[in-house]
Structure 1
Amino acid sequence: MADGFDFSPGAQVPVSGGAGETAATQALASAAYRDCKLSKISEADSDSGKSDIKKPKLSLFEPNLGEAFSRAVQVRMLGGGRKPLIQSFGTEPQTVVEHCLSATRLRKQRDAQLSVIMVLFGLLFLPGVLLWLGGFQLKKMLAKDGGGISLLGGALLAVLGVVGLYFMVKLPLTGFWPLYVRAMVVAPVIGWWWAKQICEKAAVTMRGAWQGLLEGGGVAAKIPEAVPQDPNQTAAESLRQNLAKVSAEQSSNVVFYAGPKGILGMGTRWGSWQLAEELRPAQEGVEIHPFRSWDVVRVIHDRLRLLERSPLHTGGFPAPSVRHWIVAPVGEKAGAVSRPDGTDTDAYQIRGHEIERICNEQQFGAGNRHYLGVQFVLWDGQLVLTLMITVTVLHETLRIEVTGHALGPVNGLFTSKPEPKTKDVAKTVRFWETKKITLPLIDSDEVVRLAARAPLTWFPPVLDFLGGKLTLPEPFGLRHVWADKPWRHRFMADDALRAATPVLRVVHAAALSVLKENGVDIERFDNRSLALSGMVQSAEPKKADEYNA
């Protein structure tokens, strides 16, 4: 295909809930099943961008968090003409998207049943349904910020109820139209009761998936619509290919530096240590053996792969991910990024020969830069530590820079478990004492909202127009836009600070060995390395990307 992907293998069922999932992945996936208010998503936004909530034209059609989140993620990550995604380090974005599809599928099954009820009890008795819907819409409009009805609103609804009951009693008892008027008021109530049973059953299923994900129960996302049954099912084939593209972008070796925001997906730069000295021959009259930046980087790469080894059996580092990265600069307020293409790329990956060329040649002026990264994914994906190493040679000066980036845990909104709906009421006898009672998961207002939205779920743009929608912050990546700072967690902060010292020493030792082999006087480099080794022992997190001009 033109985009470089080969989908020749047959369709396969996407599998979720496996051992590869992490706590961060499951926390983000649980948002697809949540039933809280959409406005809560604003509390979880990070400094990387703010979610935009479009207000509803009619509050009766307003989506909850799970509905809006699932819709927004699907459109952004699978929609036609979508923009490039930022990698979600420490998570599996395809799993999150699959759970959004699975949650949407569960809602469509519920909405199909509610649509039948709306036809039987709504279309046939349309005037009555419109009156009931108008009453609930009026109730929402008169509601206070806390959700209750104001005194004036309660009085107005009571008056309307009494007037309606008066006319119902005064109507004659014979004839078609008097009976129809009574039926059009009563039939929606019967439909509401039936719809309530369906909604409660669906709510239990949704909350079970929500809790199962957060407890690590391995809840699988069921999306049979992503498995084509025959070559003519173009929609299923397109969905399967788009899911594969999400995983391919996740594996890309191109990242984006957005000024004070740091490397998107890796977090802000909290520390920087630079070793820069003059290249002098070890022996006078003997020239230095020619070498390139890539020669130094390659040895550093090999040494970093041995970080998990230790002379003492005390645990230590887990196996890190050591990888060559191409870093592209973007503006701090950039609304989108673009991935390189051409003969030097393959499925969002920069080829090895181009990486080597950038490392050796693009060290000054315009263009992308090469970094060698060592990355630790800790706390089940909640903490991502990345130390980036770059080697540059300008004139007779060799500079080796090590920078630390940290991406903290996902916001607490995504790790909160479902709680039963309760209410404190006064006891019957000891009225000065209160007791806690459990309320149904679905109240009358929620049943009306779901039933009103059900027929329109087959026309998502219309529902977005009437009920509002969630627009995700750009440039979008599932992980970094809802990440908290790691410095508020004592052990996470310790892990970030402790990782810098051994990595820095390994980098310096590897670089000095290359310099020594090529006839470079390493005395100054060695002294500077010892000084940096002392400085890094008292490393403190700083805003290294915010320069004071």
Structure 2
Amino acid sequence: MSLGTEWDGPQVPVAGDGGQAATAALASAAYRDSPIEEIIKADNEWHQSTVKAGRMKMFRPNLGEAFSRAVVDRMLAPGRAALIQSFGSEPQFVVEHCLAANNIRRERDTRLAAATVLCGLLFLPGMLAWLLVFQLRTLVARRDDKRAGPLATALLAGFGILAALFFLKMPFGGFWAWYARACLVLPVLGWFWAKRVCESTAKDLRVRWDGLLSGTSVGAKIPEAVPRGPGQTAAEDLRQSLARLSAEQQSNSVFYAGPKGILGMGTRWGAWQLAEDLVPADSGREIHPFRSWDVIRAIHDQLTLLERGPLNTGGFPKPSIRHWVVTPIGEKAGSVSRPSGTDVEAFQVKPHAIQEICNKQQFGSGDRHYLGVQWTLWDGQLVITMLITVTVLHETLRIEVTGHALGPVNPLFTTKPAAPVKEVAKSLKPWENRTIKLPLVGTDEVVRLAVRAPLTWYPPLLKWLGGSLGLPEPFGLRHAWADQPWRHRFMADDALRAATPVLRVVHSAAIKVLREHGVNTEKFGARSAFLSGNVQDPTPRKADVYDA
């Protein structure tokens, strides 16, 4: 990063990063101007957002304002709770665009605040009168009656006519007469000033929104992230917060939340278990000692060869193969706590601790070890994870393979901006309709933004008056608004097809280790063949929901 007056941040991830579409879709929410309630439609069955109502609807934020503020506060606040990894996306990219959107709106609010003070607060009686009329107009327009719209417009026009008459036929003279005239005129001039400011900002936000979803390079301008002097600690704090976010994204610790599955990886849709007794291959001879880690290490080595095949037909892309430490939490847990201590460094559980968990923590309470092979497909819209665990209890060795799938982000995040339009009847042919374009920022929206502008410098008061967005906890950007992949035929096929090759590689590697250590593998081979046939069942199931 070069020093300068602003920081453009990383561009849209290039091809091969695996998270282009999902990341850009989530980042585009920061620039949206749709109603805040639409975020509720994007929630899935396991993770629910909340819209906290305020005291006055005039101060209510829209989706982009609430989303960008909530994400920045949740992911960069000092002392924040632990986050869930966003597999298939880059959370830092999303947060940077939320910061950039906040900056654009802050610049707009600065100009709107000047318009509000100069044309409104200095002429407070007139501003209050116009606000009262706009509030009454809004209440009338929300009625279900078909005449509500024309009636609301007539109300505003009627007040305008009365104001014009009062301006021309002032009942008193002197200074207060001119002040009263100014109270009627200046708020209107301030509204036109505010409208131009709002229109230009709305165009800028929509260009960025459309650019992210179109795949063009849209930089996130964050000048506050670049220190301009040795005494500026805010920029350094922001840089450290972003670095911490990236480090936590790379953590090898995940959380299992019952029917919700492993948070960030999706629910478990399939499970296959190979469990047989450890019997010596030769009678009279003992089995050569080995541990679970020896089997896992052999499986790891074979899984790295998944992208190779005897035929040049494309096949698997290069997967991510990692050792995971899985911590159990309650289904309704509102927060998570990552492992800490001398065995953890920069959110990473050290290899010797992982090996110890693999060999010893196989029964009872505590964390568990899983070996994971993960593919990020469809530009980050599909994340397939196969997890393998090996346990030895008494004389029984069990190898379990489970499939997890995280589907695409909700279509709310992939919709491009559309110009506001309205259908009206033709003047000469009332039985036919025509479509007319509306301004990007309507009359009521200009009033809302102008009234909110002076309060944006103190967000707690603005949240108290207008409300805010409550993010689903434990929070992670990717899994909070992910749909199931089973409604998409090709995504479902990809998830189901990955299971069979992984299962066979796992079994062949494990059986080879057992044979090398003098174990009779006849039953293991028979059981493996049975599972190889069973895994071809094309029906995904809710494997984490036990019908007991």
TM-score (norm 1): 0.95
1:12 and 1:206, CA in 2 relative to 1: closer, same or farther beyond 3 A?
closer
Task: Give yes or no for contact 2:266–2:404 (8 Å, CA) kept in 1.
Answer: yes
1:380 shift after superposition: 0.2
Q: Which stretch of structure 1 is more off in the superposition, 425-434 or 230-239? A: 425-434
Between the aligned partners of 2:8 and 2:274, the Cα distance in structure 1 is 50
Closer, same or farther: CA 93–355 of 1 in aligned 2, 3 Å: same
Aligned to 1:288: 287
Aligned partners of 2:152, 2:190: CA distance in 1, in Å? 26
Contact 1:59–1:140 (Cα < 8 Å) also in 2? no
Alignment of 1:127-526 (within 5 A): 127-144=125-142, 149=148, 164=163, 167-172=166-171, 174-526=173-525
Separation of aligned partners in 2, 1:357 and 1:136: 68
* Residue matched to 1:116: 114
Q: What residue is the counterpart of 1:77 in the other structure?
A: 75
Structure 1 residue 451, shift from structure 2 partner? 0.7
Structure-1 separation of matches of 2:202 and 2:470? 25
- One-letter amino acid of the counterpart of residue 62, structure 2: N
Residue 152 and residue 195 in structure 1: after superposition, are their counterparts in 2 closer, same or farther (change >3 A)? closer
Among 21, 30, 33, the residue aligned to 1:32 = 30
The aligned residue for residue 5 of structure 1 is none
Bigger drift between 143-152 and 260-269 goes to 143-152
- Cα–Cα, structure 1 residues 373 and 28, in superposed 2: closer, same or farther, change >3 Å? same
Please tell me whether the aligned partners of residues 163 and 184 of structure 2 are also in contact (alpha carbons under 8 angstroms).
no
Cα distance change on mapping 1:68 and 1:49 into 2, 3 Å = same
Structure 2 counterpart SS, 1:458: coil
CA distance in 2, matches of 1:504, 1:475: 31
Structure 2 residue identity aligned to 1:254:
S
Q: Contact conserved, 1:13 with 1:227, CA < 8 A, in 2?
A: no
1:87 is matched with which residue: 53, 72, 85?
85
Do structure 1's residue 14 and structure 2's residue 2 form an aligned pair? no
State whether residues 173 and 179 of structure 1, in contact with CA within 8 Å, keep that contact through their aligned partners in structure 2. Answer: no
Q: Measure the CA separation in 2 of the matches of 1:347 and 1:140.
A: 52
149-158 or 448-457, which deviates more: 149-158
Q: Report the Cα offset of residue 168 of structure 1.
A: 4.2
Range 428-437 or range 418-427, more displaced: 428-437
> C-alpha distance in 1, partners of 2:229/2:306?
49
TM-score (norm 2): 0.95
Q: How far apart, in 1, do the equivalents of 2:543 and 2:13 lie?
A: 38
**Contact conserved, 1:46 with 1:480, CA < 8 A, in 2?**
no
Per-residue deviation at 1:146? 6.9
Compute the displacement of 1:338 (Å): 0.1
Deviation, structure 1 residue 539: 3.7
Deviations 1:224-279 (A, max 9, x none): 10111223111111111111111111000000000000000000000000000000
2:294 & 2:360 partners in 1: Cα distance?
A: 13
Distance 1:151 1:478, change over 3 A: same
* 2:201 aligned partner, one-letter code: A
Task: Give the secondary-structure state (helix, strand or coil) at the position aligned to 2:120.
Answer: helix
Letter in 1 for 2:12: G
CA distance in 2, matches of 1:334, 1:145: 41
Instruction: Name the structure 2 match of 1:6.
Output: none
Q: What amino acid does structure 2 have at the position aligned with 1:41?
A: I
Distance apart, 1:158 and its partner CA: 6.7
Render the CA deviation track for 1:7-48: whole Å, top value 9, x for unaligned. xx9998732324145100000000000000000000001123
Counterpart residue type for residue 181 of structure 1? A
CA contact (8 A) 1:359 1:369 kept: yes
> Structure 2: how far apart are the matches of 1:35 and 1:267?
30
Match of 1:533 in 2: 532
> Matched residues in 2 for 1:510 and 1:383: separation?
27
How many residues are aligned here? 541
> What residue number does 2:104 align with?
106
Note the residue ranges of structure 2 that are not aligned, 5 or more in a row: none
Conserved? CA contact 2:8–2:220, under 8 Å: no
Aligned to 1:55: 53
Query: Are 2:7 and 2:221, in contact at CA under 8 Å, matched by a contact in 1?
Result: no
Contact 2:268 2:403 (C-alpha < 8 Å) held by counterparts: yes
| Greater mean deviation of Cα atoms: 204-213 or 444-453 | 444-453
Q: Counterpart amino acid of 1:130?
A: L
Render the CA deviation track for 1:203-238: whole Å, top value 9, x for unaligned. 110000000000110211110101112231111111
Instruction: Pick closer, same or farther for the CA change 1:146–1:524 going to 2, 3 Å.
Output: farther
Contact 1:47 1:481 in 2 (8 A): no
SS of corresponding position for 1:124: helix
2:62 pairs with 1:64 = yes
Cα shift at 1:309: 0.4
Distance 1:157 1:30 in 2: 35
AA aligned opposite 1:58 = M
Q: Which moved more, 1:202-211 or 1:153-162?
A: 153-162
How large is the Cα RMSD of the aligned pairs? 2.0
Deviation at 1:137, TM superposition (A): 2.4
The answer (yes or no) to whether the contact 1:13–1:226 under 8 Å persists in 2 is no
Q: In 2, Cα distance between the equivalents of 1:260 and 1:472? A: 20
Query: For the Cα contact (< 8 Å) 1:287–1:519, is it kept in 2?
Result: yes
Mean Cα displacement is larger for which, 375-384 or 226-235?
226-235
CA contact (8 A) 1:327 1:371 kept: yes
Cα 1:362–1:12 shift into 2, 3 Å: farther
**Is contact 2:7–2:220 with CA below 8 Å preserved after alignment?**
no
User: Within 2, Cα distance between the matches of 1:374 and 1:219?
Assistant: 32
Q: Structure 1's 158 and 439: CA in aligned 2 closer, same or farther, altered over 3 A?
A: closer
Task: Note the C-alpha offset of 1:171.
Answer: 1.7
Letter matched to residue 493 of structure 1: A
Q: Give me the identity figure in percent.
A: 63
What is the alpha-carbon distance in structure 2 between the residues aligned to residue 469 and residue 548 of structure 1? 39
Answer with 539-548 or 478-487: which moved more.
Answer: 539-548
Q: Residues of 2 paired with 1:12 and 1:179: CA distance?
A: 49
Of 428-437 and 147-156, more deviation after overlay is shown by 147-156
Distance 1:344 1:227 in 2: 34
- How far did residue 165 of structure 1 move? 5.2
> Shift of the alpha carbon at 1:195?
1.2
1:79, distance to aligned residue in structure 2 (A): 1.1
- Partners of 2:112 and 2:157 in 1: how far apart? 28
Q: CA deviation at 1:166?
A: 5.2
Within 1, Cα distance between the matches of 2:287 and 2:311?
38
Mapped to 2, the partners of 1:394 and 1:455 lie a distance apart of: 66
